Amino acid sequence: MPACAPWHARAMRIGWIAALVVASVAWPARADVVWTERCPWGARERTSHSGPRCEPWSCESDAQCDQGLVCRPWRVCTQTHEVMPGGRGAYRDPPPPPTREEQVVQSCDPSLECTGEELPRAPTAGRAVGAVQCRVMRACVRPDLPSLPRDLSTIDPGVGSAPPPPATSAEPPPQNPPSAPPARGCACRVQDRSHDGASLIALVIVLAALVVRRRSR
């Protein structure tokens, strides 16, 4: 019996680890709703096990928008999609029926009158059912950029510009510019030693002749 105790303890530990893994997998998935660059203005991304998609971001005031967005009238094009459940719910027997969601496929300024068929389209999840419907609604979008005046000549160049540098008078050129010093080369300093060399050779010859003469005696 004592020999089986270590195996029993190891089996208990494996059982606890398996239970923790199953509990972590079976925990219900939470769908996050955030704005990303993949969704057009007036929509925010919804993520879950079924995949990312864009849902309308309606509002009544700027307080309901975040990330520096503002609440403005915007044309939003949506299409109904049937989304199958993901995660643990997809493996039930029988599987649950799909849910219908209004997903944003495109949006634009109301003056552009987009139809939802423009490319690129926003990411969607599930199977599309029905036609695309566009309507103008108050949604969270980016603030309007300041518009430039049509007549640029009305802009005051002095506003916001740096003052010009003070004018300085250029110095007049000298009347009598100094002349350049004469060029000095190395040849003028080298002394001609050709005569000294010839005298030295003659002296050596005379001394050698004297030595030979004395030895011949």
How does pLDDT run along the chain (217 residues), one tens digit per residue?
Answer: 455 555 555 656 655 555 444 444 333 344 455 545 789 999 999 988 888 999 999 999 999 998 899 999 999 999 999 998 887 767 778 888 899 999 999 999 999 999 999 999 999 999 999 899 999 999 999 997 665 565 556 656 555 556 666 666 566 666 665 565 555 554 445 455 555 556 667 777 767 777 666 666 5
User: Residue 131 in contact with residue 83, Cβ under 8 Å?
Assistant: no
Is pTM beyond 0.75 here? no
Q: Cis (ω within 30 of 0) for the bond into 97?
A: no
Domain boundaries, the chain: 30-141
CA 152 – CA 155 distance, rounded (Å): 6
CA 204 – CA 210 distance, rounded (Å): 10
Single out the residue of 128, 137, 139 nearest to residue 80, CA to CA: 128
Helix (H) or strand (E) holding 54: strand 53-56
Burial class of 58 by CB neighbour count within 10 A (0 to 12, 13 to 18, 19+): middle
CA 172 – CA 69 distance, rounded (Å): 62
User: Residue 43 in contact with residue 59, Cβ under 8 Å?
Assistant: no
